[in-house]
């Protein structure tokens, strides 16, 4: 039966362990997804000649650009595991798995018949459809948390291929008959001809529903009060410090396609180094500390900053730690009718997987593996 429209109840987003996987246990449905967007563009070169106004042809000289971005509410780290970020209890760098060459991951967007939840009461029919992106690589991970809003993660990815299936079978056990979008990066051929099977949809009832801004704890370490490390505004984690209104952690991982003669697709899509994470903090000012810009420049000492997301019982569910964060800027704003505010930006140069001096680490409460 033809659909009149597709809304959020009819869609689910799955991610594969890597581009080669087809088994149901090697795919994971992302939970608490709030948005999902994807697109592709083809760059063409017109072939013209003297004596003729219209073009002779329009040729594709470089691989098309396929992009996707999605967002979800932060919970206990399961989505981070599925996206192959390191959940290591501060022993392995958070993005270390994305800084080495690989085949990427596949994304699958399942759409059910109109008016039917994907996660509940899946019927055995062939009326499901999929849009799939192959060989997708993370290019940006951003965490946003602010007063009055649920902590949200936004992820951007670049892929090599996109394809769709109009007739997919669905049941409570999962989805079958899906074509893999993955390609061999060396020559652009199909990675596998075997159909992909996605596992049973999940309502995510076994995890916390969401984390609240009132349960976020920020520890700025020595950066909160030291005259040699700044900043001017007091950002101590107590009643005497500034009142933090929002925090944003951004880890951009731009990638360069490596091409060669004889191939229509890049043979690799490598990360551009160095990779620098940035932390932006906005707060209401109430106290200042003794600080001196000259000393900050002379000493150039970094600090460890930890962001902890607790549940209602004060149990940590997700925790980020920035090692050796440096203060890059501090901006004050004051005007009639509003509170005086300060905006601070810290940066961290991300090192190798085991670099415990310069890195971003993550620890989630979910102990289950993302893939089986």
pLDDT band at residue 228 under the 50/70/90 scheme? low
- pLDDT at residue 123 in the model: 66
The pLDDT value given to residue 137: 94
Q: Are 177 and 129 in contact (CB under 8 A)?
A: no
Q: Which one has a higher pLDDT value, 85 or 103?
A: 85
**In the structure, what pLDDT confidence band is assigned to residue 233 with cuts at 50, 70 and 90?**
confident
pLDDT at position 224 is: 64
Find the distance separating the first CA and the last CA of the chain, reported in whole Å.
Answer: 35
Average pLDDT over residues 37-61: 93
Burial of 69 (0-12, 13-18, 19+ CB in 10 A): middle
CATH fold of 213-364:
Elongation Factor Tu (Ef-tu); domain 3 (2.40.30)
In angstroms, the Cα distances linking 225 to 19, 222, 236, 248, 323 are: 47, 6, 7, 21, 17
In this structure, what token pair is assigned to residue 10? Answer: 């009819």
Q: pLDDT tens digit string along 95-136?
A: 998 988 788 999 999 998 888 888 887 666 778 999 999 999
**pTM to 2 decimal places:** 0.92
**Average pLDDT along the chain:** 88
Give the rounded percent of residues in the chain with a pLDDT score beyond 70.
Answer: 92
Q: Report the alpha-carbon distance of residue 291 to residue 314 in Å, rounded.
A: 33
Q: Which residues of 213-243 are buried (b: 16+ CB within 10 A; e: fewer)?
A: bebbebbbbebbbbeebbbbbbbbeeeebbe
Spans of all domains in the chain = 213-364
- pLDDT number for residue 259: 83
Token pair belonging to 294: 């000259």
């Amino acid at each position: 039966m033809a659909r009149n429209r597709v809304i959020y109840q009819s869609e689910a987003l799955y991610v594969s362990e890597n581009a080669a996987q087809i088994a149901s246990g090697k795919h994971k449905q992302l939970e608490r997804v709030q948005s999902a967007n994807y697109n592709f563009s083809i760059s063409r070169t017109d072939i013209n000649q003297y004596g003729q106004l219209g073009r002779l042809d329009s040729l594709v000289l470089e691989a098309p650009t396929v992009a996707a971005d999605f967002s979800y509410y932060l919970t206990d780290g399961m989505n981070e595991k599925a996206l192959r970020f390191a959940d290591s209890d501060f022993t392995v760098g958070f993005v270390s798995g994305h800084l080495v060459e690989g085949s990427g991951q596949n994304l699958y967007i399942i759409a059910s018949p109109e008016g039917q939840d994907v996660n509940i009461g899946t019927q055995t029919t062939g009326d499901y459809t999929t849009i799939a992106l192959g060989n997708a690589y993370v290019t940006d991970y951003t965490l946003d948390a602010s007063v009055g809003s649920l902590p949200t993660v936004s992820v951007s990815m670049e892929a090599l291929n996109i394809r769709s299936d109009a007739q997919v079978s669905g049941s409570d056990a999962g989805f079958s008959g899906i074509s893999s979008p993955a390609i061999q990066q060396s020559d652009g051929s199909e990675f596998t001809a075997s159909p992909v099977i996605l596992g049973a949809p999940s309502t995510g009832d076994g995890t916390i529903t969401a984390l609240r801004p009132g349960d976020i704890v920020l520890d700025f370490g020595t950066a909160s009060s030291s005259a040699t490390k700044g900043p001017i505004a007091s950002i101590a984690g107590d009643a005497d410090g500034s009142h933090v209104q929002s925090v944003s952690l951004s880890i951009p991982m731009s990638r360069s396609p490596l091409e060669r003669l004889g191939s229509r697709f890049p043979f690799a899509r490598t990360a551009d180094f160095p990779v620098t994470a940035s932390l932006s903090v906005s707060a209401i000012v109430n106290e200042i500390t003794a600080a001196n810009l000259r000393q900050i420049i002379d000493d150039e000492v970094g600090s460890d900053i930890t962001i902890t997301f607790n549940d209602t019982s004060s149990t940590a569910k997700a925790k980020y730690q920035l090692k050796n964060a440096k203060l890059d800027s501090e901006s004050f704003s004051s005007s009639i009718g509003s509170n005086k505010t300060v905006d601070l930006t810290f940066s961290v140069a991300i090192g190798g997987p085991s670099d415990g001096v310069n890195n971003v680490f993550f620890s989630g409460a979910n102990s289950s593996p993302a893939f089986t």
